[in-house]
Structure 1
Amino acid sequence: MYKQKIVGVFRAFIKICEEHDLQYFCHGGTAIGVVRHQGLIPWDDDIDVLMPRPDYEKFLSLFPQLEQKEYELIIPGRPPSYYLPFAKMCDKNTTLLEFKHVPCVLGAFVDIFPLDGASNEREKRAADWLLFRRIANKLMILPKSAKANFAWLFKRLSKFQLRTAINEISCAFGKKRKYKKVNEQLHYIMTRHEYSKAEYVGSYGSQFGIKAFWPKSWFDGVVMMSFEGIEVRLPVGYDQLLTQVYGDYMQLPPKNQRGSHHNVAYLNLEERKSVEEVYQELNKKKRLNSLL
């Protein structure tokens, strides 16, 4: 049922893009699913898309004006507990808490990554991505309470994660100001190479590092393919792109690697609950389990 929900969100997203002439491209495992399975990879549980920065900004601007009540757009800075540097379009009638220690309630979602301009030099692209990643890591730390920051400090130190331990301390105070500063720094890195003039583009928020930067010419055309019965968009250079990121992407991975890589601390596909209600249910379940 969860897969049906996220496919429903994807259908709604595509409808908005078509009605407003906005570009998007299937990304990551979703793109592999299109080419190899004509739908979701059987063991996958999310949908990822790329939007060129100009289209991404237009999408963010027009979404609040849409006459619909089924979906919401979560973006960096709104809500202040959101912990990722890209947008999610969510089903407002579902509840998802990914991490128990991060108090941010979402719904079944589609990840929307901006496709941004990048340096022509590979070394600079790699350095920009590394800087971006180090700053973005603070987004997972800032939503936690100061008390939780100090609790996690000792966990980090016990695992010799010194950089993250320092972040736990520095993010324990002045959270509102620091959250704003972090998002401003990330936005600057993503947008300092103007998309319209760039020869290379990439997804700074991607987990693939330097592999997630490509010649812009690979996005100069569109290939339409079927995904769960929907006609969706792939960039004309999808084969080169997927090969760069995954190698032989048509080869199925070993069985022990066929699983979800996403965290789910709480899921309700019937209704939206507040973060307070979610924690009440989780604590109640914990107490019940302790009695068994």
Structure 2
Amino acid sequence: MTQTSPSAGAPGAAPAALPASIDETVSLLARGDYVADRSLSTALYLALKLGRPLFLEGEAGVGKTEIAKVLAKALGRDLIRLQCYEGLDVGSAVYEWNYLRQMVEIRVAEAAGGADRETLASDIFQDRFLIRRPLLQALEPHAGGAPVLLIDELDRTDEPFEAYLLEVLSDFQVTIPELGTVKAEKPPIVIVTSNRTREIHDALKRRCFYYWVDYPNALRELDILKVKAPGAPEALSRQVVGFVQELRKLDLFKQPGVAETIDWTHALVQLDQLSLDPETVNNTLGVLLKYQDDIARIQGSEANRILTQIKSELAAHGAV
């Protein structure tokens, strides 16, 4: 599905200046409640400073999409999102002609009897009949400054569409045969994400700065929970992080991402849990894990083993 989300910033607010340093980039993300390590902030700062798309690759749920959302909100820019899927084409991603309006125009002209075919053909391929999709919207002027263009989950598309993006990402322009080339006066801030279900071609990667968004270590994941689930007891948050970190060491079909860690913590808070116990873990694994085979593997003795291990480790460090 193709989505657009205009007006990410506050209505009427002036757009914020781009960060002038890595430290300012860290602060900008922090204002949007995004806990980023310095290497990610460095990649984002350079992409903003040099006007290059940033290609973020990593497992689902590690926070790639959130970066674009936070960036748009913090900078007061419109967020334009192209959600990729198999079969995505130019008509859904860039533009298409409003065929219904064109047909009405033809019928009206024929009824009036005053237009020849050549003039009519020219008239119906004008700007007013053009339906703008996300990529074309992103290249047009915006009152709040150049928008943030999120091309989300590019790996879900087909290679022909990936090839089409080369012109967009290198020259920030698209070609409409009937109208000519549309080039951005101010290039959008482009964030491209991929869950790496397939390899993206080198030609596209060369047009971007690249960053692999990995799972956070325990300390950073705990910091994330302090921001995203501030109502959770600290002891519970530490146990949640410890449990999730141990799960990621196992050969699961789908390891839990940061999004699942946050969801699980919120769910446990709703259940008034102050600490993890085997029954609660078994009853709520569906919040954390998304495949029945993974749940069946962890439920019961394995969950109890992990829980006993992390409580013992936390107790040894005086954290419980």
For Structure 1 versus Structure 2, the TM-score category normalised by the shorter chain is under 0.3
- If asked which structure has higher relative contact order (CA below 8 Å, sep 6+), I would say 1
When the two structures are superposed, what TM-score results if normalisation uses the length of structure 2? 0.26
